[in-house]
């Protein structure tokens, strides 16, 4: 380990005496004190294979990247998809998953202008994008064909030190509670953007399908904060009470109701004006096209493997429904979503466990036994 004084002394010494190439090498990134060479991380070699909690190298930031000492990371259902390898998008292997990382900037590449050592930063699903294609140009950076994805194509936040493109990394205000903000970095940004995509008016009803999960529990709160009335759909009494405690006016239990479409339409007097689909259920997604109100806006967010959304064409046309996909959010959506959190309008309901417990968290998630989010403490 090098102390900061030692690094500056070395830099001065090399700037004066060393060959230019060595001096350039040292000037390439600024570092904070005590960055170790190795760290703890959760890594797997094959899809669905063993997840090992072990010592792995600390990555070196590229000129455009920051190195974040990740303190906490949320566990998103996407991390489970990445581990299982069930999406038609290849993952990097071996892989360190995770894309809801919150921590402190400890080093930065020479091109980084917007972060200083000691700043708080968030690692998001969109680690970086080309910034030059037609989609990046329109601010739809998540849709960039060359997007680099944390915990998927780029080692993510299930480690103590992770790199992120400084352009995409989230700025977190000083004093932010890093455990509490972690789920905002994917779940919060995603549902906030999905609600904007639904384009509803205050007072209208939005159904959140999968309302007690990581995304759903935040969707309920963002929706309420945006002036919408909420109907939550999920399974079991505990999840129903939980969703109502977050501000939902109505709850439909998919494990009890025989006719979900009729139950949703009855509760909302003709169907919700909009639907945010965050469940990992193909059937639930197609049902949403049936129960939506005339002129309803159905937003697809959850990504069950191999799923297809079926909407009967007659119904679709005569009710003039809109079905839209929504994929995380851009930098502005991130700033806005974090701002709702900072102002206390949304609170992610979360439980903290150690990083080494990731396999157990995946098991609970697979069984649908999680209320809100699990957040991993990278020191354990």
Looking at the chain, how many residues does it have?
380
- Can you read off the two tokens belonging to residue 264? 């949703």
- Nearest approach, Cβ of 82 to ligand NAD (angstroms)? 9
Pairing outcome for strands 126-128 and 148-149: antiparallel
- Nearest approach, Cβ of 61 to ligand NAD (angstroms)? 25
Q: Does 334 bind ligand NAD (CB under 6 A)?
A: no
- Nearest approach, Cβ of 281 to ligand NAD (angstroms)? 4
Q: Does 213 bind ligand NAD (CB under 6 A)?
A: yes
Nearer Cβ to ligand NAD (104/370): 370
Q: Does 327 bind ligand NAD (CB under 6 A)?
A: yes
Residue numbers 69-88 binding ligand NAD by CB under 6 A = 76-78, 81
User: If we measure between CA atoms, which residue out of 372, 309, 362, 364 comes closest to residue 53?
Assistant: 362
CA distance 4 to 208: 49
Pairing outcome for strands 274-277 and 297-300: parallel
CA distance 85 to 91: 7
Nearer Cβ to Zn ion (287/330): 330
- The answer, yes or no, to whether the previous bond of 202 is cis (omega within 30 of 0) is no
Q: Does 330 bind ligand NAD (CB under 6 A)?
A: no
For residues 279 to 298, the per-residue mask of contacts with ligand NAD, x marking binding by CB under 6 A and - elsewhere, is xxx-xx--------------
Alpha helices in the chain (DSSP H): 4-17, 20-27, 77-84, 134-137, 178-181, 187-198, 214-225, 237-245, 260-267, 282-291, 313-318, 331-342, 358-366
* Eight-class DSSP state of 177: -
Q: Which residue is nearest to ligand NAD (CB)?
A: 213
Q: Which of 30-38, 242-250, 301-309, 355-363 is the region at the interface with ligand NAD (rule: CB under 6 A)?
A: 301-309
- Can you read off the two tokens belonging to residue 58? 């600390």
- Nearest approach, Cβ of 147 to ligand NAD (angstroms)? 12
- Nearest approach, Cβ of 372 to ligand NAD (angstroms)? 8
Cα angle value 283/75/220 (rounded, 5°): 55
- Can you read off the two tokens belonging to residue 211? 């309302």
Do the Cβ atoms of 263 and 252 come closer than 8 Å?
yes
CA distance 117 to 349: 30
For residues 297 to 336, the per-residue mask of contacts with Zn ion, x marking binding by CB under 5 A and - elsewhere, is ----------------------------------------
Q: Does 370 bind ligand NAD (CB under 6 A)?
A: yes
Nearer Cβ to Zn ion (123/186): 186
Pick from 82, 169, 170, 186 the residue near Zn ion by CB under 5 A: 186
Nearer Cβ to ligand NAD (278/292): 278
Pick from 158, 250, 254, 340 the residue near ligand NAD by CB under 6 A: 254
Instruction: Tell me the sheet residues that pair with 323.
Output: 298
Residues forming contacts to ligand NAD in the complex (CB under 6 A) are 76-78, 81, 186, 190, 209-210, 212-216, 233-235, 254, 278-281, 283-284, 301-303, 326-328, 365, 368, 370
Q: Point out which residues bind Zn ion (CB under 5 A).
A: 76, 78, 186
């Amino acid at each position: 380990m090098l102390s900061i004084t030692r690094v500056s002394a070395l830099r001065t010494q090399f700037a004066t005496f060393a060959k230019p190439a060595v001096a350039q090498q040292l000037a390439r990134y600024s570092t904070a004190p005590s960055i170790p060479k190795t760290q703890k991380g959760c890594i797997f070699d094959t899809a669905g294979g063993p997840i090992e909690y072990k010592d792995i190298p600390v990555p070196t930031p590229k000129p455009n990247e920051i190195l974040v000492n990740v303190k906490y990371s949320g566990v998103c259902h996407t991390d489970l998809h990445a581990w299982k390898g069930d999406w038609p998008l290849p993952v990097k292997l071996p892989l360190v998953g995770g894309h809801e990382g919150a921590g402190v900037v400890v080093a930065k590449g020479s091109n980084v202008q917007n972060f200083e050592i000691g700043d708080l930063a968030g690692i998001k699903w969109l680690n970086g994008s080309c910034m030059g294609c037609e989609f990046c140009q329109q601010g739809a950076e998540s849709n960039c064909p060359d997007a680099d994805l944390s915990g998927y194509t780029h080692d993510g936040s299930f480690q103590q030190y992770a790199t992120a493109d400084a352009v995409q990394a989230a700025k977190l205000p000083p004093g932010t509670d890093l455990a509490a903000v972690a789920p905002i970095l994917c779940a919060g940004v995603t549902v906030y953007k999905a609600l904007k995509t639904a384009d509803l008016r205050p007072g209208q009803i939005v159904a959140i399908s999968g309302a007690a999960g990581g995304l759903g529990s935040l969707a309920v709160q963002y929706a309420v904060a945006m002036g919408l009335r909420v109907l939550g759909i999920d399974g079991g009494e505990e999840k129903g009470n939980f969703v109502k405690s977050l501000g939902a006016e109505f709850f439909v239990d998919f494990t009890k109701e025989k006719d979900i479409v009729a139950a949703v339409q009855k509760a909302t007097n003709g169907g919700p004006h909009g639907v945010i689909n965050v469940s990992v259920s193909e059937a639930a997604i197609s049902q949403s096209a049936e129960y939506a109100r005339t002129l309803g806006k159905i937003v697809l967010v959850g990504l069950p493997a191999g799923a297809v959304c079926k909407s009967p064409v007659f119904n679709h046309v005569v009710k003039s429904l809109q079905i839209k996909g929504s994929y995380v959010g851009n930098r502005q959506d991130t700033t806005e979503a974090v701002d709702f959190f900072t102002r206390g309008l949304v609170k992610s309901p979360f439980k903290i466990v150690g990083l080494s417990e990731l396999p157990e968290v995946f098991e609970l998630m697979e069984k649908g036994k999680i209320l809100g989010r699990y957040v991993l403490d990278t020191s354990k």
